[in-house]
Amino acid sequence: MAEIRGKVWRFGDNVDTDQIIPAERLVSSNLTHLNEYIFEKVRPGVARDIKKGDILVAGKNFGCGSSREHAPLSLIQAGFSCIVAESFARIFYRNSMNIGLLLIECGTDIGEGDTAEISTECGRIRDLNSGKEYEFPRYPPFITRLVECGGLVNLIREGEF
């Protein structure tokens, strides 16, 4: 988890969980296709363009709204390696960590389509297009391990909790 590099997808403030994955897409017990519907109401067709390892960058209060775990799960399924936002809704933050989605709280002005490089060990984000760098607080070892394991259930399975 030390180095992450990917294309940036930019979103604004107050992106709620229904924008991430619409509630009407959650009627099946088969959750393996959530990524097909990600952001379909606010950016139709974006799901097919997201690639494994891409990075979502947003503003304040990302993940507000309902407390469904489907929102962070759909972001993982879509291929996002991490979500960078100025701030996160509390329940979204907890749900994301529980399933191993890396969240980084840091305000940036990295543009859509830029390539970002993130060092979780150094607590640094670098926009490879502009050369700008941004710092964020590094996670403690337990949280780093939680994300590396893919979430709380996997951490428990490995006998580390």
pTM of the shown model:
0.92
Whole-number pLDDT of residue 153:
85
Q: Which residues are paired to 103 by β-bridges?
A: 83
Token pair recorded at residue 75? 């972001």
Q: Could you give the CA distance from residue 144 to residue 16 in angstroms, rounded to a whole number? A: 26
Domains with residue ranges and CATH for the chain:
3-157 (3.20.19.10)
pLDDT in tens, 127-153: 999 999 999 998 888 888 888 888 888
Q: Could you give the CA distance from residue 21 to residue 105 in angstroms, rounded to a whole number? A: 21
